[in-house]
Amino acid sequence: MILDGKKLAGDIETELSRRVAAIKEKSGGKTPILATILVGDDPASATYVRMKQNACRRVGMGSDAVELDKDTTTEQLLAVIDQLNRNEEVHGILLQHPVPAQIDERECFDRIALAKDVDGVTCLGFGRMAMGERAFGSATPAGIMTLLRHYEIPLSGKHAVVVGRSPILGKPMAQMLLNADCTVTICHSRTRGLPDLIRQADVVVGAVGRPEFIKGEWIKDGAVVVDAGYHPGGVGDIELSAVSERASAWTPVPGGVGPMTISTLITQTVEAAEAYYGVG
């Protein structure tokens, strides 16, 4: 089974358009607005931000683009975030990762108000999610969970191996799977005996950030394979060509996890606006 994130994201956008229209009707013409902050001139980051802004437009939302110089300081960025937190017209805030080296990224992430943390990057949001409390999940792992639920992939009691430990992907992914009653093993690039650990997995999530780091021969027949990586040449973190015929379900690269990340970001912005305007 191919876990088609591109198709699902399109279906979700159709529903979001309806929800945005309901918000406009209830609020007297107001629309959900996602504020995007781009610091510096990294072309890949600029492309990602543009894709998110385009998704906003497709569902009838607004987007407020904030572009800052590459020499921006932590204090200057914090001041921008404070301003957006106070702006009642803005319902979600996205700080594009990564920021230039002179900026304390974690401090800036954590300055985002919980109600506007639609990308799920704050420590407070992570902690609440981990404890089963209301919070927006990190966009990529939350998108993966939506994809697995849509295709009715059984998770309860399964052994999931997450390869990667980043604060906005690997760690929240592991916690979400744990909350879904998986038994979870967290691995990374320095894990000893990694192939043997992966061979035990019913569900494998590649989130290590290295092209085809996870070999197809390490994955057992019938496993569910989720590849959250994307690298030049259209490859992910997993050697999908060697596993697609043996996996029970797998995400293509591109067209699997990527579209779900943006879909989740937009969905959570709509949810934030619905909460603000008392819709739904």
The radius of gyration of the chain's CA atoms, rounded to the nearest angstrom, is 19
Q: What is the pLDDT of residue 280?
A: 76
- For 23, counting Cβ atoms within 10 Å of its Cβ (0-12 exposed, 13-18 middle, 19+ buried), the class is buried
DSSP helix/strand/coil, 184: strand
3-state secondary structure (DSSP) of residue 268: helix
State the residue for tokens 């780091």.
213
Q: Model pTM?
A: 0.96
Instruction: Going from the first residue of the chain to its last (280 residues), give the mean pLDDT of each consecutive group of 10, the final group possibly shorter.
Output: 98 98 96 98 92 96 97 98 98 97 98 98 97 96 98 98 97 98 97 98 97 97 97 94 95 96 98 94
pLDDT number for residue 115: 98
Residue span(s) of the chain under CATH 3.40.50.10860 come to 28-115
What CATH number belongs to 28-115?
3.40.50.10860
Give residue 95's pLDDT. 98
- The catalytic site residues sit at 52, 96, 119
pLDDT for 275 equals 97
Cβ–Cβ < 8 Å for 186, 165: yes
- Residue 118: which of 170, 74, 63 has the closest Cα? 63
Contacts of 180 (CB under 8 A, 6+ apart): 145, 155, 156
The owner of tokens 């939350």 is 142
Residues of the chain with CATH 3.40.50.720: 139-257
Which DSSP state fits 170? H
Asked if the 139-257 domain carries CATH number 3.40.50.720, the reply is yes
20 contacts 60 by C-beta, under 8 angstroms? yes
Strands of 1-120 (E only): list them.
33-39, 62-68, 92-95
